[in-house]
Amino acid sequence: MAAYARVSTGKEAMLESLSAQVSYYSATIQRHVEWEFAGVYADQAATGTKDNRVEFQRLLADCRAGLIDMVITKSVTRFARNTVTTLAIVRELKLLGVDVYFEKENIHSTGGDGELMLSILASYAQEESRSVSENCKWRIRKDFREGKIGNISMLGYRRENGRMVIVPDEAMIVRAVFEDYLSGMGIVAIVKKCRNARFTISTSGLSKLLRNEKYQGDMLLQKTFIADHLTKQKVKNTGQLPQYHIENSHEAIIDRKTFDAVQTEIRRRSKLHQPKRQPLAIYPFSGMIRCGKCGAPYKRKHANAGGKYEKIVWICSRFNELGKEVCDSQQIPEAILWQKTKDSGGLEHIAAIRVPGHNRLIFMFKDGHETEVEWQNPSLRESWTPEMKQTARERQLKILEERRCKP
């Protein structure tokens, strides 16, 4: 017997409620001598509509492994607020012989009318979730119209009583970044300078910082929005909803003259250094390989292009952009990747690949298991093509001939 509990926020009162649920279920299950206590799986999740509840996923994994026969939970809304998700999970568990008991509704999922009742109740729960989401959106948009901000996380400011207040130490970094950019430094050079000063920022983060209107004292609100209350996925607002631009809404870190000069310089460099963007090439390993040292994705690269040692490799994007002082990962020849993938059963069975260190790969398979393999670069002699060998042979013969001709 196992129990599942969830609270919707991390507030102190909610965490006390979660603790009470855990204690209640622990005591309830252990009072029944015929039940074997399998534990309480408890999540502090922002919503029941998301699939990233760690303990919920662990519960499902243990059910699939045959470790649990029955699950007790408070109600349908605690289990999931998506009708499709609720029924899919309950049906899967039913096929595995696992019963889910919903206390509030007094429903056993394996009962005769269990699925019908669950379908009705889950539909109500989903509609309730949608209604709550719409009410939240209405409140947020009302605040936008009035120039109020919600939670904010940006370098240089903190939120205090609904207003943006400058953080002096962070504001110094922001001013230095704007000054460096106007002095001619590139994005990558500024990022390296920041890292040397023990402030970590990515190139994309720095680009956004230089374009952020809040640093000149203005606010452009509703740049993004939640399109679907079930997926909670943010979508860029390109005109679907109104935006609200408030001038002089708070104290500026960068004066308008400097901010405008930076925007002009961004446009100038963009025209000079950014050719017409080509469609992004997609390769079989695209999006699959992650660096185990810094977490950045690997990208495909032509190494030594145009030279005699030209080859295709996969390389950590952060190492490729910022150098080994940021990430000392290792590039992997594509030929080796293909060979190790083939030896491990084929790409169609692999979900992701992690590179934990030099000459090691971890293949993560779609069925959940992992395999670590080692690899070695071929020796220089083995990597030479017949043409390369012939060229070297001719060069060596030429050197010997020249020596013989010398007096």
CA dist 258 and 256 (Å) reads 5
The verdict on residue 171 lying in a domain is yes
337 or 116: which carries more pLDDT confidence?
337
**DSSP letters for 358-386:** TTEEEEEETTS-EEEEE--PPPHHHH--H
Average pLDDT over residues 224-249: 63
The verdict on residue 280 lying in a domain is no
Q: What Cα–Cα distance (Å) separates residue 46 from each residue in 5, 42, 49, 233, 400? A: 13, 13, 9, 14, 76
> Are 263 and 166 found together in one domain?
yes
> Are 53 and 152 found together in one domain?
no
Q: Helix (H, G, I), strand (E, B), or coil: what is residue 96? A: coil
- pLDDT tens sequence across 57-81: 899 999 999 999 999 988 877 776 5
For the CA atoms of the chain, what is the radius of gyration?
29
pLDDT computed for residue 143 by the predictor: 59
- Other Cβ atoms closer than 10 A to 355: 21
> Are 338 and 240 found together in one domain?
no
The verdict on residue 141 lying in a domain is no
- CATH number of 198's domain: 3.90.1750.20
Q: What Cα–Cα distance (Å) separates residue 4 from each residue in 17, 43, 90, 118, 130? A: 13, 8, 14, 17, 23
Least confident of 130-134, 234-238, 250-254: 130-134
pLDDT computed for residue 315 by the predictor: 92
Retrieve residue 78's tokens: 């605690």
> Are 159 and 210 found together in one domain?
yes
**Phi, psi values for residue 325, rounded to 5°:** -70, -20
> Are 201 and 100 found together in one domain?
no
307 or 292: which carries more pLDDT confidence?
292
CA dist 79 and 228 (Å) reads 20
Average pLDDT over residues 42-57: 67
pLDDT computed for residue 242 by the predictor: 66
pLDDT computed for residue 230 by the predictor: 45
- Using CB atoms within 10 A of its CB, is residue 221 exposed (0-12), middle (13-18) or buried (19+)? buried
CA dist 322 and 281 (Å) reads 22
pLDDT computed for residue 53 by the predictor: 78
The verdict on residue 391 lying in a domain is no
144 or 162: which carries more pLDDT confidence?
162
> Are 73 and 185 found together in one domain?
no
- Other Cβ atoms closer than 10 A to 325: 10
- pLDDT tens sequence across 159-198: 887 778 899 999 999 999 999 999 999 998 999 898 888 8
Q: Tally the domains of the chain.
A: 3
Retrieve residue 166's tokens: 């400058």
- What range defines the domain where residue 176 resides? 147-273
> Are 325 and 266 found together in one domain?
no
> Are 115 and 168 found together in one domain?
no
pLDDT computed for residue 357 by the predictor: 86
> Are 122 and 184 found together in one domain?
no
Least confident of 56-70, 126-140, 217-231, 390-404: 126-140
> Are 256 and 297 found together in one domain?
no
Spell out the long-range contacts of 173-176 with Cβ–Cβ below 8 A and sequence spacing 24 or more.
Answer: 173/197, 173/199, 174/209, 174/215, 174/253, 174/254, 175/253, 175/254
> Are 220 and 260 found together in one domain?
yes
CB 6 within 8 A of CB 53: yes
- pLDDT tens sequence across 297-338: 999 988 876 666 778 899 998 888 877 777 888 899 999 999
The verdict on residue 169 lying in a domain is yes
Q: What is the mean pLDDT of the chain?
A: 79
Q: Within 13 A of 190's CA, how many CA atoms are on the CB side? A: 24
Average pLDDT over residues 110-121: 64
- Other Cβ atoms closer than 10 A to 406: 5
Least confident of 77-91, 183-197, 354-368: 77-91
Residue whose pair of structure tokens reads 């959940």 in the numeric block: 368
Least confident of 173-182, 244-253, 360-369: 244-253
Retrieve residue 27's tokens: 């005591």
CA dist 182 and 258 (Å) reads 9
The verdict on residue 399 lying in a domain is no
Average pLDDT over residues 137-150: 56
Least confident of 20-24, 175-179, 356-360: 20-24
- CATH number of 99's domain: 3.40.50.1390
> Are 21 and 93 found together in one domain?
yes
Provide the Cα torsion 336, 342, 345, 350; round to 10°: 60
The vertex-243 CA angle with 238 and 249, nearest 5°, equals 140
Residues contacting residue 311 through CB under 8 Å, at least 6 positions apart: 303, 304, 333, 334, 335
CA dist 404 and 100 (Å) reads 90
pLDDT computed for residue 48 by the predictor: 43
Residues contacting residue 24 through CB under 8 Å, at least 6 positions apart: none
The verdict on residue 278 lying in a domain is no
